[in-house]
A and B are shown apart, each in its own frame.
Chain A
């Protein structure tokens, strides 16, 4: 009896030891990977507050000894990019004035299109939907020359309005896809009942569809905002200098390292460019991930 109990104890102890080591391995691995993911972020954040002299002395990857905000001020308003010394502020605002309208317009169009393609289908609407979807897969390169021509004709070269147009047209297929797939899940009976009560197209849209839409609208807005903010190709091709969005300006800034590279200012500039999407990610992470997985699997 006692022997058997001892054997069970031994076995339990072995099992718990195994459990401890497997937990240790799991957390150990996760910690190593987390370090690899976080170190680049820490490096930039630290360097944006360190003195350039200190960076030159202690190296780029090092804990900070000093703390100052001057690099941020310089990156924002006085640092020189390709001969103009106004920092990143113009480019940051360009990105903002490009991203906000383009996000709102493409999301609204996507919502209305998705509503038509799910609740007001007509002959051929499925085919049209499939054709619109092709826009999701098109590489931007194939549209560069045509866009350059169209923007030139419209007088929108080197302008934020031109980029808004490009991003809205390119974004419609994504936003329509997101909204249509979400609205398909709203029961048709709801719409039928409203129609029998005499509600028309727009009334149903505003009174029934819109109140049910916040989850998908948040996903779509986050997807569009981060996508357009982070876009580089169209920005660098269709605008130059002071009219460039922040991604293009960042490349110009880090390329124009004439003498010693000022890592302090460049780090602050990089963070200014990364902050809006990062903040959205931190506060709307759930919706961000939902957009990613939906966009991917559908």
Chain B
């Protein structure tokens, strides 16, 4: 099994406050890794370390994160984020842009200006995110004027347009209704053919449904990492078992 990202002895801080303690995880290529754990366990911080968004809010880290063997903590964050895309909890399309421009903006701002080049990529990404059929006749409508579920798929399309290798998802369906959630989950299943996906979720059934591997975080520590079916049938750790059974605390 090929390893896409290898995290080694990662500590993360907010100021002097240590929020992640010595995390080591190998993230396999073209698989979905779900991160579960109670609020404040550091799961969001962890994935934000993977594209260095952690430092945008003033955090610091210690340790190594290797992306294809290259330490990403030492590369330029702007270049890194083109390879490691991110989808956020609340759908956040750019409200001042059309649906088309929302997808195209990453390309444009990264230097692709030729409309002939952009149009097919936008179409491809909207198709990949299963949104094309719903919006193809209203590409000039504002990105903020579609439903929440559509907005989130638009955000995924926007991320895909930059052609990343890894997609991080921070509770991508927690603000959505069940039908939209199902669509996002189907999408994740489709996308793992071409991308490595790390998803943070509060919804354990969702982790069980979409992921190949599940990591359980608690109090900033990695408690258990295993194949998802193992975590949800017979986890090795008592804390993990209590958490997945909903008997935590």
Are A and B subunits of one complex? no
